[in-house]
Structure 1
Amino acid sequence: MSNPFARARYALSAHNFRQLPPDAGAEVAFAGRSNAGKSSALNALTQQNALARVSKTPGRTQQLVFFEVAPLKHLVDLPGYGYAKVPQDLQAHWQQFLDGYFSTREALQGLVVIMDIRHPLKDYDRQMLGYAVNRGIPAHAVLTKADKLGRGAGGNTLQAVRMELSRIWGDSVSVQTFSAESKQGVDELRAVAARWLGL
């Protein structure tokens, strides 16, 4: 099966509302704490090694980065922070920008939240999933770096996260394991994103 994301290309970066592209078509946003493996997941999804820059310095994504997959269909890389050394006023700006983006963006069809399987469901992850659920947008939790755990431990973590998500949000959030290294779960993630974008 051909990969509908293989043609993805960088479209634009937005640091504020004025820079966002027209609110049309369909978008799937990707969020994740610094170093959770978001860039690697985007690169695995699109089969492009350098689409999303993989950085050893946490928190390098300082704007919303739009990648065009097809006309009016985008993947959106959200700023990853957690321990990014970002000044307080910039954090406040981001908070406001993300709040606004999630509450008003009509094109947004789904949110993928990337978490390190060894440290899932941190405050930031819960906040991002909450944004989507409150808006009635489907959310999908991706437990990356699954190759770092044995199959048994990975399966146990998956079950624990699934139960926790179900307890908080019912069936609004789906969850899977993923490894950019071993390619585990790449097809599953691709299927979810393709469905949301109508590809």
Structure 2
Amino acid sequence: METPTLNFRKVHFVTSAPDIRHLPSDDGVEVAFAGRSNAGKSSALNALTQQKNLARTSKTPGRTQLINLFEVEPGKRLVDLPGYGYAQVPEEMKRKWQASLSEYLQKRSSLKGLVLLMDIRHPLKDTDRQLLGWASGNDLPVLVLLTKADKFNAAPRKNIVQQVRRDVLEFAGDIRVEPFSSLKGIGIDRLASILTDWYLNPSLDDLSASLDDTL
């Protein structure tokens, strides 16, 4: 008998923070959403929670400037990390965002899973590979969501997913790859199921390996 998924419709906003020193106590279980600034993180969070305005979306990628934290239920949190690699902002501001992203990933001990979003048309960019390598080295489970999957019909979409699954084998970690579309509802149930498993069965110790600061 399958374990019922958590009720993600009850997710609510907790706080926005420029760095981990402004986040709540580092306990419980957190799952972080990361990806390039145009990968659709905010849309994925809104689709998962069935709340149109939980995470802000914008036609201009790169609007997630802070670490945004949401509570699923007591002790279980979703984290929307600053996007990387695209935002049309001053270089100094971009470096600041990326520093807070790296710091969170390296030092937040309650982090127990990473959802890495990639546009299905442009998967596995250098920064994506860097995150996958780091996560694998730290035994952090990763769910790769190939977003905007509605851009392809079923057969070519399946081919891309299978190719990315083969490609990530090089990292030898707990990495799952799924198609996703917030517009068409593709992959939302799978996302909810995997997150529920991570929240209810966390098995990761403190992360200590360094993450290159060039994200």
Shorter-chain TM-score range = over 0.9
Check whether the contact 1:40–1:180 (CA below 8 A) recurs between aligned residues: yes
The amino acid that maps onto 1:89 is E
**Residue in 2 that maps onto 1:81:** 84
Check whether the contact 2:68–2:80 (CA below 8 A) recurs between aligned residues: yes
Check whether the contact 1:10–1:67 (CA below 8 A) recurs between aligned residues: yes
1:124-163 Cα shifts (integer Å, max 9, x gaps): 2222223322222101100111111011110110011000
The amino acid that maps onto 2:110 is A
Among 181, 194, 197, the alignment partner of 1:195 is 197
Among 40, 49, 53, the alignment partner of 1:50 is 53
**Residue in 1 that maps onto 2:141:** 138
SS at match of 2:9: coil
**Residue in 1 that maps onto 2:109:** 106
Deviation at 1:198? 1.6
Q: Which moved more, 1:105-114 or 1:124-133?
A: 124-133
**Residue in 1 that maps onto 2:152:** 149
Distance in structure 1 (CA, Å) of the matches to 2:95 and 2:181: 32
Among 75, 78, 93, the alignment partner of 1:72 is 75
Distance in structure 1 (CA, Å) of the matches to 2:99 and 2:6: 35
Q: Structure 2 vs 1, CA of residues 139 and 150 (structure 1 numbering), >3 Å: closer, same or farther?
A: same
Distance in structure 2 (CA, Å) of the matches to 1:84 and 1:93: 12
**Residue in 1 that maps onto 2:95:** 92
Among 173, 178, 181, the alignment partner of 1:179 is 181
Check whether the contact 2:84–2:98 (CA below 8 A) recurs between aligned residues: no
Check whether the contact 2:139–2:173 (CA below 8 A) recurs between aligned residues: no
Q: Which moved more, 1:121-130 or 1:188-197?
A: 121-130
Deviation at 1:2? 6.8
The amino acid that maps onto 2:40 is G
Q: Which moved more, 1:145-154 or 1:98-107?
A: 98-107
Identity %: 51
Q: Which moved more, 1:80-89 or 1:184-193?
A: 80-89
Check whether the contact 2:150–2:181 (CA below 8 A) recurs between aligned residues: yes
- Is 1:13 the counterpart of 2:40 in the alignment? no
SS at match of 2:8: coil
User: Which segments of 5 or more consecutive residues in structure 1 lack a partner in the other structure?
Assistant: none
The CA RMSD over aligned residues, in Å, is 1.6
User: Which segments of 5 or more consecutive residues in structure 2 lack a partner in the other structure?
Assistant: 202-215
The amino acid that maps onto 1:121 is L
Among 95, 115, 118, the alignment partner of 1:115 is 118
Deviation at 1:90? 2.7
SS at match of 1:6: helix
Count of equivalent residues? 198
